[in-house]
Structures are given as structure tokens and as C-alpha cells.
Chain A
Amino acid sequence: MTLPNQDQTLFSDVRRAFREVKREKPGNRLGYLFIAPAILLFLVFQGYPILRGLLMAFSDYRWLVPETQGLFDLNGLDNYRALLQDKTFFRAFGITLRYTLVYLPSLLALSLGTALLIARVRSPRLSGFYRVVAYIPVVLPISVSMMMWRQIYNQEYGFLNYFLKTVLQIQNPPGWLSDPAWAMPAVLIPDLWLGFGYFTLLFLIGLYNIDSTLYEAASLDGANGRQQLWWITLPLLKPIITLVLITTGGLASAVVPVLTLFRVPAGPEQAMLTLGVYGFQTAFSIGDMRMGYAASMGLVTGLFSMAFSALVFKLLRSERS
């Protein structure tokens, strides 16, 4: 994890190290021996799957049909023609898009808001406590967290509906996990819950790096809090905002929350069949396990994410100049 604006320091470290190592060292060849286990592990379990996955995206690989599994049994763009005809794919795409349009802005607002609040706490112990707590949902196993949320959502025993009924006097609280209309919020809440702490931490690092004399100068010039936020904090946080947007990867599919939260696959009436979930089902749980088709969906999603990243870079950079 390197922030865009710290890349330079990393590269200069490397250059300096490069110069220093000029001194003669014993056992030059030994170096290859030392890196061999890492390289081997990496090539076998990471490098190969990356290439194989790309090939799969252009073949009709089906796990239960051995004849389709040759390394170079490619079928050109057939998968993509099929995708264009696939109503479920478009439905999943729509759901993913809608989910992302709510998820990403909420995530940004929530984590930036929390970071701004924590940065205003002056006691280091207290701010440390808040930071540690906000990060707890990030380190918990997602599946266990989702099981806990399932209990909170439970219509009869769950605490959420009990709270809505008795405290807020809502007579007909929603069936969070059984009503298709409520499936998206039911995924959104825990998904934000488990993700915002990570981005809060990134924003906090950015905030702590801002020179405090800038604020002092602004106060002397009579700038109020909101003006300082708008003209100093946000512009200086741009590299972090870029990093956060790119780390989220554009399209949000919430695969693990959807897989673990609902009793029925993809939620009631498949209301949360996002692209990631559809891909997972295609590859691992329905029909012939069409892994090639699923990989091509992955490629489409990946291209969207890359386009999104490029857009983020372009927008945030052009604004700066």
C-alpha cells in the first residue's frame, strides 16, 4: 500500500539502495537460491492462474465437460456474443450498477466523515481508541460478521425489528432478508459496516499529513470551518480520494455478503444477483459449471473497473491543474 504521492520516496529508496549495493558481496548466485522459493510459489499459484484465467475468458470451459478444458480451446468472442443475449447478465449488471451508485458515495461519505471527526479529537489516546474500534469490523471474518447480522435482521427474534417496533413505533418493520424490496439495503448496511474502517484509516493518514500551519493561516485570513474544509482539506486529500476510489475497484458486487447473508441464493427472488454473484454461481453452482463464461463476465467487470480508475485519475488530476 503506497500512496500515490509517496511513490517518489519509495523509488528514491530503491535508487539509493541500488548505488549502495555496488560494493562487492559474497555469493552472487546465492541470491537466486534465496528468492527461488518465493518466485516459485508466486509463479505457480499467482502467475499461472492470471494467465489461465485470461485464456478461460475466451473459451467455453465447463468444469463438468472435460472435452472443453484444453488450454487453447479458444472460442474467440463467442462468450461475449452470448453475454449480449443473456437477460440475466443484463439484470445482474443493472443490480450491480444500482448497488454501486449507493454503495460508493455512502462509503466515501461515511469514512471521510469518520476520519474528519477522529482528526478533531485532540487526545491521542481517545483518537487511537476510535481508530482501533472503527477497524475492528475490517479484521473480523466476513462470514461470521454476516451470521451476526443475520441474527440482527431476523424477523421474529432480531434486535433491529424489535427496536423499530418498540422505540420508533413502526408497526410493520420490513422483512429484511425475505422481502426482495429490502434485499439491497440489507446487504448495503453490513457491507458499509465492514468496509468503512479501512478507508477511514487511509483518510486519517492523509489528514494527519496536512500541514497544520495552513489552517492557522486560513483562520487568520478569516476562513471559517466549512471554507477550510472545502479549500484546504478536500483538495489536499485528493490523492487519498483517488486511492480510495481505485481500491474499491469501481463496480461493487458484495459477493461474500450476498452469499452468506441470505438463505436462498442471491436473496429473495434473486434480488441481489450482482455480477460477482452471477459469475460465482455460473462457475461453481449451476449447470455444467461454465467457468469460461464466468471468466468472461469477470473480464467485462474488470474492464469496467479499469475504465472507472482511468476516469477517476483523469477527473481528479485535471481539476488539480
Chain B
Amino acid sequence: MMYSWKKILREIPVNLALIAMVCACLFPLYWSLVSSLKGRAELFETKPTLIVRHPTLENYKMVLSLTGGSQIPLFLWNSLKIGLGAVAVQFVVASMAGYAFARMKFRGRDLIFYLMVLMMFFPRVGGLMATYELMDFLNLRNTHIGLILLFPSSVSLSLLIMRQSFLGVPRELEESAMIDGANTWQIFTRIAIPMTQSALVVISILMFLATWGDFLMTYTLLDDLNLFTVSIAITQITGWSMIYNSTLATTYGSDNAAFILAILPVILVYILSQKWFVRGFQEGIIKL
């Protein structure tokens, strides 16, 4: 990287502007992190400071030690359950259909595929209301199963990615397996699926992030506080209406600890997934 330092120096004004952008992007997160690590005395000094002098995990301990209903650990668990459930459903549905659309020949295949992809651009007038009615009719409103089925049902993008990926699997591999007597299901599970790892990881990450962060659908479909995901619960229990039975003064730190806990999985998944997205681009799976 030595060669580039001179060039970087020449790019100082550009980099200064971009550093300002980085600060603006990260400031809310930083402020929350700092506040969550401050003890009570430090939190309520008249001049708020940008650094923590005496970091403490007290706030996190408090938030995580509250067990039972309507508490952060339960909400985190709910989010995880729905996220992993949706990822699992999508894994099965998108890999099977993607494989069929890429490799099997049957009547109307391409027509069906194109209709599904085009639906991505179809406006959803009253979709929220209609989904609410549908979920109520199916007795899936106020259940986690309902959300686990609802999120992966927008299959357009995942089908597009999976089909593209299966098309990239060398045909010879499948043919030689067939000569060895493997049936379609065996070829699909033993050869095709392992060969499309990065696409499966990419669609799983996208699904997990979308599920974890969803507000409107989840908020509309769930009424029972004990079923809430962390993303919607956080708007109900922190800030001004608190469950900790205390004044604003003592919840500032724990609120922030709750925020950080709510975004930590997302940040981790996002950072760790970078290499999969790069690989996805390289393999030509993701066409942007």
C-alpha cells in the first residue's frame, strides 16, 4: 500500500469531505455506544462528553438481566427466531425453485419465472391492509409463523439470484453424477446446493437483515408485546414510556444499551458478510 500514500495526500480535500461523511453516518451510533458505557454520574454531567472516562457494562448487565415477558432478551430472541425461520423457509423455497428454473425443462417455465420477477415492480396498493386481512383470516396474525412465511414470500429477488447462480454450476458435474446413477434430488442436494453457497449466503443475509429491521409489517401484524421483535419493541419500551419503573434519568444508559444490543447482530452480519457480497459480484450472481 506504500505507493498510494502520496496519492492519498494529494486527495486530502476529498478525504476530508468523506471523513465528515463518515462522522455524520456513525455519530448516532457512536453517541449511543458512548452513552451506554457511561455510568450514572458521568451520564448526567451538565456538559455531555464525547468520550467515556470510566466505561462500565452496568447498563448492559441491567438490560440483559431483566428476564421474563416484555424484556429485551425476549425481544432479541423473538427477532432471532423470526429471522432464522424466514431464512430457513427462503433457503428451501428459493433453492428448489431456482434450481428448477435454471436446470429443469417444463412447459411455461420461463413465462412463470418472468411473471414472478416482474411482480417485483408491481405497485402494492393497499397491500398492508390486504395482508392484515389475509393474516387474520388464516389465523396467522399475532403469530411468529405468519411473519416467517410472509417475509420469504416476496421471492422475486431471491429467485433471480438463485437461478443465476445455478446456471453457473458446470453442467458436466451434474451429467457425470447422472451417469453414476444419481437421481435429480441427489444431484440437487449433493452437487447443485454446495456449488451455490455464496448465492445462498447472500440471499440469507439479505433476508435476515430485512426481517430484523422491518417495522411496518411487523408492527401492523403483531399486537401482543410479548411477541414483538426488538425493532418494534424498542419504540414502545424505551425513551418516554419505560418498563423499568424509573425516571428518565436512570434509563438513558439502559436505553442506549438496548439500542446497541438491537443493532449489534445487524452490524456483525453486515461486516462479516462483506466478503460474500464481493464474491457474489465476482461470480456474477448479483447483477446490480
User: Which residues of A are interface residues toward B (Cβ below 8 A)?
Assistant: 1-3, 6, 9-10, 13-14, 17-18, 20-22, 25-32, 34-35, 37-39, 41-42, 44-50, 52-54, 56-57, 61, 63, 69, 114, 117-118, 120-123, 125-126, 130, 132-137, 139-152, 157, 159, 162, 166, 193, 197, 201-202, 205, 255-256, 259-260, 263, 280, 283-284, 291, 294-295, 298-299, 302, 305-306
Contact = CB atoms under 8 A, between A and B. Distances in A.
B102 interface: yes
Interface string B217-238: 0011000000000111011001
Nearest to B24: A193
B130 A25 contact: no
Interface stretch (B52-60, B104-112, B195-203): B104-112
Contacts of B267: 136, 139-140
B149 interface: yes
B69 interface: no
A269 to B, nearest CB: 19
B266 A291 contact: no
Given A35-B97, A148-B259, A50 B213 contact: no
Interface in B252-277: 252, 255-256, 259, 262-263, 266-267, 270-271, 274
Contacts of B152: 41
A299 B1 contact: no
B68 interface: no
Contact of A147 (B24, B149, B234): B234
A37 B106 contact: no
Contacts of A295: 125-126, 129-130
Q: Range of interface residues on chain B?
A: 35 or more
A162 B287 contact: no
A interface, over-half SS: helix
A47 B112 CA distance: 13
A148 B32 contact: yes
Given A29-B106, A117-B18, A157-B48, A134 B25 contact: yes
